[in-house]
Amino acid sequence: MPQCIVIVQFDLPKRSEEQAIKGATATAPIYRELARKGLISKNYLNGEAGTGGVYLWESRADAEAWFTEDRMVQLTERFGARPRLTWYDTHVTVDNVAEETRVDGRVIEAVG
């Protein structure tokens, strides 16, 4: 089964580095807890095109279980703008930290 990447984008002004770090570290515990629900990683975004996050999930079903319409309403209320979600299946991952290549989450090649 493919893993799933969801890119969440808000059309908001770029924040200062300090603001971005403060906001991200304040919510990081929420996303660490989601490891039990299939979230592999989240990268917080902050740039000229807006703010948001890149989420890597074990499966699309896990991602869909998190990004419900109720969650979208919560995010809209919190940020004052409705986020755009872009969904991708990801079949192949090159992980240079773990020194491996994975297909649908399974290691097919490891270095070392």
- Looking at CATH, the fold of the domain delimited by 3-110 is given as Alpha-Beta Plaits (3.30.70)
Cα–Cα distance for residue pair 69/74, rounded to 1 Å? 9
- What distances in angstroms separate CA 83 from CA 51, 73, 97, one per listed residue? 9, 9, 30
What are the tens digits of pLDDT across the range 61-72? 999 999 999 999
| Mean pLDDT value of segment 12-38 | 96
Spatial neighbors of 107 by CB under 8 A, at least 6 apart, are: 100, 101
Q: What is the rounded end-to-end Cα distance, in angstroms, of the chain?
A: 26
More confidently predicted of 55 and 104: 55
pLDDT tens across 44-99, in order? 999 999 999 999 999 999 999 999 999 999 999 999 999 999 999 999 999 999 99
Domain ranges of the chain: 3-110
Q: Mean of the pLDDT values across residues 28-37?
A: 97
Distance CA 55, CA 1 (A): 17
Which stretches within the chain are classed as H helix? 17-33, 60-66, 69-79
pLDDT at 109: 86
